[in-house]
Amino acid sequence: MRYAEGAEGARDAAARWDITTPSRPGRLPGVCMAGFRDRTTDLVGLHVVPYPAVTVAVDCGDGLLLDDATGRQQRGSAVLGLVPGSVRVSGRNTECLQVRLSPVAAHAVLGASPEPGGAVVALDDLWGRDALRIQEQLRAAASWEDRFTIAEAALARRGHEAGRAVDPEVAHAWRQMVINRGQVRVEPLAAEVGWSRKRLWARFRSQIGLTPKRAAQLVRFDHAAHRLAAGHSAALVAAESGFVDQSHLHRDVLAFAGVTPTAVAAAPWLAVDDVAWAATPPKLR
C-alpha cells in the first residue's frame, strides 16, 4: 500500500473527500460534527494526529478498520481518546460521521472514555445496544443533515440520562488551557478556583482523563501542529508556541504523534481541518 507524502500528498488526500458540515450551529456545547464520504474506491490509509478532543467515528459505509498502538484492530464505529497513540484508519468506500467532543462534553455523554496511550474502544462497548440502534438510524438517514440531527439528539439524551458533569473548577482549568494555547501552569489555575494543586490534579485527571500538565501539552502540541500544517517553519512555530527551542518542539511532536514535525506538516489527517472544522469553537471549549 502506498501513501502520498509531502504537502502535495496532503492536498491530494484532502481532495478525495466529500465533506459535509451542519448547516446550523449545534446546540450542544463542546460538540462538533462533520460527514466524510470518500470519492474514490481506493483503499484509504490515514495516520491519526492527536487532537484535544475525544473523537467518535460512526461507520456509515462498508466498514472502517482502526489499528491502535497495542496491535489491536477495531472494525466499525469507535471512540478515540485524547491521546490515541499511533492509530491508523483504513477502509474502502468510506462513509463516516465524525463527532469531536471536548473532554468536558465527553465526560458527560460517553460515560467513559478510552485510556490515553493507544486504546481504541468500540462504541458498542460504551453504549451497548443503544449504540447499535443509533448506528442503524444513521445508516438509514436520507441526508447528512438528518444524520447530524439524529446524532445531536442521541448525545443530548445520553448526557441527560447519565447526569454526569465535570466540576466547574475542572471546566475552568480546561478553558484556560484552551484560551492560552496550553501555555499555563497548574499552580495559578488551582489558585484561581480556590483549590490546592493536589486536588485540581486529582479531579482533573479523573474527569478529563489526563493530568493538567499533559492536557496543556496536548493543547500546545495541537496549536503547533496546525501551524506546521499551514506552512510555517519549525523554528517559528517553536518560538511562537511556547517551546524552549526547536529541539523541544521536535521532542513533543514525536511524543504525541510518533513522527517528526516535517511529517506532521504534511499529514493528510490535518489537510481536511480547514473544511471540516472551520466553524469549530477553538478546541471545543
* pLDDT tens column, 247-268: 999 999 999 988 899 999 988 8
Q: Rounded mean pLDDT of the chain?
A: 85
Determine the number of helices (DSSP H) and then strands (DSSP E) in the chain: 14, 10
The per-residue pLDDT for range 66-101, each reduced to its tens digit, is: 877 677 777 888 888 887 767 878 777 788 999 999
Identity of the highest mean pLDDT range in 108-122, 124-138, 177-191, 264-278:
177-191
- Greater model confidence, 278 or 227: 227
**From 83-92, 99-108, 174-183, the region with the lowest mean pLDDT:** 83-92
Q: Which three three-digit cell numbers place residue 199?
A: 486536588
Dihedrals phi, psi of 33, to nearest 5 degrees: -135, 155
The per-residue pLDDT for range 136-154, each reduced to its tens digit, is: 999 999 999 999 999 999 9
- Rg, Å, the chain Cα set: 18
pLDDT for residue 111 is more than 90 = no
Q: What gap in Å lies between CA 220 and CA 185, rounded to an integer?
A: 12
Closest CA to 238 of 152, 14, 247, 36: 247
With bands split at pLDDT 50, 70 and 90, how would you rate the model's confidence at 110?
confident
CATH numbers and ranges of domains, the chain: 6-164 (2.60.120.10), 168-265 (1.10.10.60)
DSSP letters, 17-62, are: EEEE--SS--SSTTEEEEEEEESS-SPEEEEPPP-SSEEEEEE-SS
**In this predicted structure, what is the pLDDT of residue 5?**
42
